[in-house]
């Protein structure tokens, strides 16, 4: 979090070192800290989440995790989806 104290810093967090069941708890804690920073500084302006089915699985109760209100319904705020590969139309469906 100290890296994000600098306005011109960018951070990538890779959770592949954690077992899949541990990722949701770590992500929730991290997102709570990011939400606190965002509330006081307005930063970070962007959050790009990849492979979110590992960090916020559909079986998790999103009403009680660290997602801020504006992200409580992740699909409601999605503006762009990028899918590559031969089966992209099926994946997006």
Provide the residue ranges of all domains of the chain, joining segments of one domain with +.
3-92
Please state, in angstroms and rounded to a whole number, the distance separating the CA atoms of residues 24 and 42: 24
pLDDT at res. 66 = 45
Question: Which SS3 state, helix, strand or coil, does residue 60 take?
Answer: coil
Question: Tell me, what's the pLDDT at 90?
Answer: 84
| Separation of CA 10 from chain center | 15
Distance CA 36, CA 81 (A): 27
pLDDT digits (tens, 9 = 90+) for 31-52: 888 888 888 888 888 888 777 7
Instruction: Please report the pLDDT score of residue 63 as a whole number.
Output: 43
User: Would you say the pTM of this structure is higher than 0.75?
Assistant: no
For residue 74, name the pLDDT band (cuts at 50, 70, 90): low
| Mean pLDDT for all residues in the chain | 76
Question: Alpha-carbon distance 63 to 69, whole Å?
Answer: 9
Q: Under 8 Å CB-to-CB from 41, ≥6 apart: which residues?
A: 7
């Amino acid at each position: 979090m100290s890296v994000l104290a600098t306005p011109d810093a960018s951070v990538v967090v890779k959770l592949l070192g954690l077992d899949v069941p541990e990722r949701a708890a770590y992500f929730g804690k991290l997102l709570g800290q990011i939400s606190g920073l965002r509330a006081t500084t307005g930063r970070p302006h962007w959050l790009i989440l990849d492979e979110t089915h590992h960090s916020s699985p559909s079986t998790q109760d999103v009403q009680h995790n660290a997602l801020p209100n504006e992200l409580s319904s992740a699909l409601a705020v999605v503006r762009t989806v990028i899918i590559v590969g031969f089966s992209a139309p099926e994946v997006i469906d």
